[in-house]
Chains A and B, each alone.
Chain A
């Protein structure tokens, strides 16, 4: 095993010809983090004894779920063991990309910082939809692709079959697909050699004004925001004043350096180099992914392309289970936002749930991750309302409303309602085509096309309303395909649809938290299901409680909770009194956990059961 190579070029003084910037595209669980770990060891930047699994994934949730949320960049010195450039120390900047569909934009920025990518695919499973989507992104960016099959040590590995599949996708020969085991280390040296050989060196203008693209921005509680950049042109030096080209804001560079993998200060960063900088800003929204950094004086006049503001696609109301936790929830969201420019939220009040926030997310995983972090890192117990998308409602009088919460759906004469649609790509064994098409049809999908990736694997493309995906589409897809299907989707715009708001009325009072926007054909089923469920969950009260589902003033479903007629213990003699008093205290406690909706006592559990996304508010699970 080679030790740290000699004559390692230093940051700011590295010949671009020796630099290779690459990322790894892989599906969750296909071994990207393990491969990265192996590279850290092989190149000697992390010593054996310091090694811990998934070294680069810093957050607990990342390590636990085996997914990478925030990308990182590591500078690896590597002298190829054979072939071109043998024995000459190169600098490999490995940029770790987020793997999930919700973070497509961040992926695209990571890709834009690279000249090549390692396409890493599990040799037992083949390529997955998200990987394919990212591969297409990489191809659009004209990156060099190094196809690699991982986990060849697994008994279930089928390297021949999947090498064929990768070769078809990438346009190479099956023999060109590298076979490695990140776990055992087999083939990883050869992979590093291939990266040096096949990934082009960066090209930039060294004496032009500096232009560096931000591909990640991370909040660190000790250092403030750490911004990861790739220098395209020119040079950034320490203690320079820099300017964010999207906002014009200027900052002093307090520190600049590279990661190996811990932060290591340097004199600067030159053309093609990748590293971090610290300016003292406290909020990642001041250092946005995709933005271009230049010097304050004599800086560049034209920003690099590709910047856009992250736009939330999915909204959910987050409420503390205990109303007194509201300030803690606000503080926690503030803290998370420091590190997550895509997280948006505003205070919201629900008659049923009290004070909370309407929170916008990039997608469902983003929602899950944020909710889990709030609960785990901040110890909050939350109710999350069923996720919904953003609707654009045009009124007959020409007014336009943007609806992020069903309860804000306007009354009055509506002309059109627009909902976001996505282009969904599903990869699955061909035996499941029927089941997948059936699912997509019931979710108002339109088939765009279908291609065979290999003899028995197929890619199916659909246009689907995003609202149909945010509930339990993925769960349904997984269960209908015995877990074999994978899904990717990207927003493609909006469409006018026949959408209605279904309200739920308890004893005549509208319960805002239960309102939902559904397609008119699905409204009846939604109403019937929710009303039946509430009848089970709400205990009998002193009076009869009608539960109704209504569209406007038209009732579409109704159930009645009969009035309770008996609530009295038959006997209460000498020996019963203490017990009776204690029972009363217990019942009072139980009553405190009830939320009053008008005059109806609704158990907290009823809200959780109906609203939580675990038990989808929109579709019944089979």
Chain B
């Protein structure tokens, strides 16, 4: 979650939604995102809404403390219950992200999940994921999570090469993420993901090969591979500006992407979103797919974003301010936007085009349709799918997805 919040209108104190937001809610799955805004140290490339113990000292007082964070977050889940009223939906997916969720005791994560279960109920086949830092889990911890209802886990591996991890400020020892996959399997997790980052300054094609080989070798059923984005305001951006590390060229990113897609395909992983590959449909991350398909989700925690029926809102960023609002019985919402139909159409195009299933051509207006034909001619859209009425990106098209979107929304 990026740390810069958008501008928007204010959220009512009780967090209530316009009536229209719940129209037809029964047809939409409901998801929960639970944010844990803590990290042991801040990584140089990260601009997420997360805080180290040092950063929080003195600024948020006892309210921002990690110790009672699970209880605070449970307060927001109860607020969600009030706001959604008698919405009968059970929760399809829960995703605990951060920050570093596994900095909290496993029992806290289980308690947070418990709050959702208690207030809303979980669907029988609900996907329950947590992110985890390879160094902050062990077999006991994993077993406790599994016993508490978690069935999917995502490890931040990033790279198999020490010098790359060093540029990223990642502290885990190479090999540890792969070991985590085995430990998670042993603990009974159905689904395991490894996150990889490519294009880190100083990374070579060989390094990237090695990372992919190591990740594939560990046998997760899901791999995410992200081009490193150098966000303004991060330590890494400053280092690049000072010339301490080189900026990675876009063409290098393109090369690495092609390497990833080819190696992952060879190993039995197929893409289902621009940056995500899975060994089977069951291995896809359903929670993320709900984001991309315009479902309703409630993001709880500081800076978390939510979406219900065309209303997007986001919470105050600071854990102290967040806890204070909930302690006073107020919504921690900092701002929101009510999306007009056209914005919702544009969002559908920009999100769904990133998926293997693509965008229905029926969503496009005449100018966008004309542009889609050009994209087809240029080899950016898949011919067979196009014939079936869907705009689906080719491999080259995936690398130029944003350019295609700009034309298709016309």
Q: Which residues of A pack against B, CB within 8 Å? A: 542-543, 562, 564-582, 584, 587-588, 591
Known: A572-B274, A577-B347, A584-B350. 6 other contacts (CB 8 A): A566-B253, A566-B254, A575-B2, A576-B1, A577-B305, A587-B406
The answer to whether the Cβ of B299 comes within 8 Å of any Cβ in the partner chain is yes
B402 contacts A568, CB within 8 Å?
Answer: yes
The CA of A574 and the CA of B400, in the complex, are separated in Å by 21
Q: Which residues of A contact B191 (CB under 8 A)?
A: none
A588 contacts B297, CB within 8 Å?
Answer: no
Q: Which residues of A contact B303 (CB under 8 A)?
A: 575
Residues 337-361 of chain B, each 1 if its beta carbon lies under 8 Å from chain A, else 0: 1000001001100110010000000
A575 contacts B305, CB within 8 Å?
Answer: yes
Q: Which residues of A contact B1 (CB under 8 A)?
A: 573-576
The answer to whether the Cβ of B378 comes within 8 Å of any Cβ in the partner chain is yes
Q: Which residues of B contact A587 (CB under 8 A)?
A: 402, 406
Q: Which residues of B contact A564 (CB under 8 A)?
A: 250, 400, 403
Q: Which of B278-318 contact A (CB under 8 A)?
A: 288, 291-292, 297, 299, 303-307, 312, 314
A573 contacts B6, CB within 8 Å?
Answer: no
Query: When the two chains form the complex, which single residue of A572, A581, A588 contacts B354, counting CB atoms closer than 8 Å?
Result: A572
Q: Which residues of B contact A569 (CB under 8 A)?
A: 229, 402
The CA of A569 and the CA of B354, in the complex, are separated in Å by 10
In the complex formed, the residue of B with least CB distance to A578 is B6
The answer to whether the Cβ of B103 comes within 8 Å of any Cβ in the partner chain is no
Q: Which residues of A contact B2 (CB under 8 A)?
A: 575-576, 579
Q: Can you spell out 9 A-B residue pairs with CB atoms less than 8 angstroms apart?
A: A567-B403, A568-B399, A570-B274, A571-B229, A574-B299, A577-B347, A577-B351, A578-B312, A579-B6
Q: Which residues of A contact B399 (CB under 8 A)?
A: 565-568
A565 contacts B299, CB within 8 Å?
Answer: no
Q: Return A378 CB to nearest CB of chain B, in Å.
A: 33
The CA of A573 and the CA of B351, in the complex, are separated in Å by 9
Q: Return B270 CB to nearest CB of chain A, in Å.
A: 18
In the complex formed, the residue of A with least CB distance to B49 is A575
The answer to whether the Cβ of B4 comes within 8 Å of any Cβ in the partner chain is yes
The CA of A576 and the CA of B312, in the complex, are separated in Å by 11
* Chain B interface, >50% SS class: mixed
The CA of A577 and the CA of B274, in the complex, are separated in Å by 15
Q: Which residues of B contact A566 (CB under 8 A)?
A: 227, 250-251, 253-254, 257, 399-400
Q: Which residues of B pack against A, CB within 8 Å? A: 1-2, 4, 6, 33, 226-229, 250-251, 253-254, 257, 274-275, 288, 291-292, 297, 299, 303-307, 312, 314, 337, 343, 346-347, 350-351, 354, 378, 380, 398-403, 405-406, 409
B402 contacts A573, CB within 8 Å?
Answer: no
Q: Which residues of A contact B274 (CB under 8 A)?
A: 568, 570, 572
B291 contacts A574, CB within 8 Å?
Answer: yes
Q: Which residues of B contact A567 (CB under 8 A)?
A: 250, 399-403
A584 contacts B275, CB within 8 Å?
Answer: no
In the complex formed, the residue of B with least CB distance to A565 is B254
A542 contacts B305, CB within 8 Å?
Answer: no
Q: Which residues of B contact A571 (CB under 8 A)?
A: 226, 229, 275
The CA of A470 and the CA of B2, in the complex, are separated in Å by 54
- What is the total of A-B residue contacts with beta carbons within 8 Å? 101
Q: Which residues of A contact B292 (CB under 8 A)?
A: 572
Which interface residue of A543, A568, A573, A588 has the most chain B CB atoms within 10 A? A568
Q: Which residues of A contact B405 (CB under 8 A)?
A: 584
In the complex formed, the residue of B with least CB distance to A587 is B406
Q: Return B196 CB to nearest CB of chain A, in Å.
A: 11
A581 contacts B305, CB within 8 Å?
Answer: no
A-B CB proximity, top 10 nearest: A575-B1, A565-B254, A575-B305, A570-B226, A568-B401, A566-B254, A570-B227, A567-B403, A566-B250, A578-B6
Query: When the two chains form the complex, which single residue of B254, B275, B307 contacts A574, counting CB atoms closer than 8 Å?
Result: B307
Q: Return B151 CB to nearest CB of chain A, in Å.
A: 20
The CA of A587 and the CA of B398, in the complex, are separated in Å by 18
Q: Which residues of A contact B346 (CB under 8 A)?
A: 581, 584
Q: Which residues of B contact A577 (CB under 8 A)?
A: 291, 305, 307, 312, 347, 351
The CA of A565 and the CA of B258, in the complex, are separated in Å by 11
The CA of A402 and the CA of B312, in the complex, are separated in Å by 64
Q: Return B12 CB to nearest CB of chain A, in Å.
A: 19
Which interface residue of B1, B228, B305 has the most chain A CB atoms within 10 A? B305
A581 contacts B347, CB within 8 Å?
Answer: yes
Given the known inter-chain contacts A567-B402, A581-B347, please indicate yes or no for A575 contacting B304, CB distance below 8 A. yes
The CA of A573 and the CA of B291, in the complex, are separated in Å by 7
In the complex formed, the residue of A with least CB distance to B256 is A566
In the complex formed, the residue of A with least CB distance to B6 is A578
Q: Return B35 CB to nearest CB of chain A, in Å.
A: 9
Q: Which residues of B contact A574 (CB under 8 A)?
A: 1, 33, 291, 297, 299, 305-307
The CA of A533 and the CA of B283, in the complex, are separated in Å by 50
Q: Return B316 CB to nearest CB of chain A, in Å.
A: 14
Q: Which residues of A contact B288 (CB under 8 A)?
A: 573
Q: Which residues of B contact A580 (CB under 8 A)?
A: 350
Q: Which residues of A contact B409 (CB under 8 A)?
A: 584, 588
B312 contacts A568, CB within 8 Å?
Answer: no
Q: Return B1 CB to nearest CB of chain A, in Å.
A: 4
Q: Return B372 CB to nearest CB of chain A, in Å.
A: 14
In the complex formed, the residue of A with least CB distance to B97 is A573
Q: Which residues of A contact B253 (CB under 8 A)?
A: 566
The CA of A482 and the CA of B312, in the complex, are separated in Å by 63
The CA of A574 and the CA of B254, in the complex, are separated in Å by 25
The CA of A576 and the CA of B97, in the complex, are separated in Å by 14
In the complex formed, the residue of A with least CB distance to B337 is A578
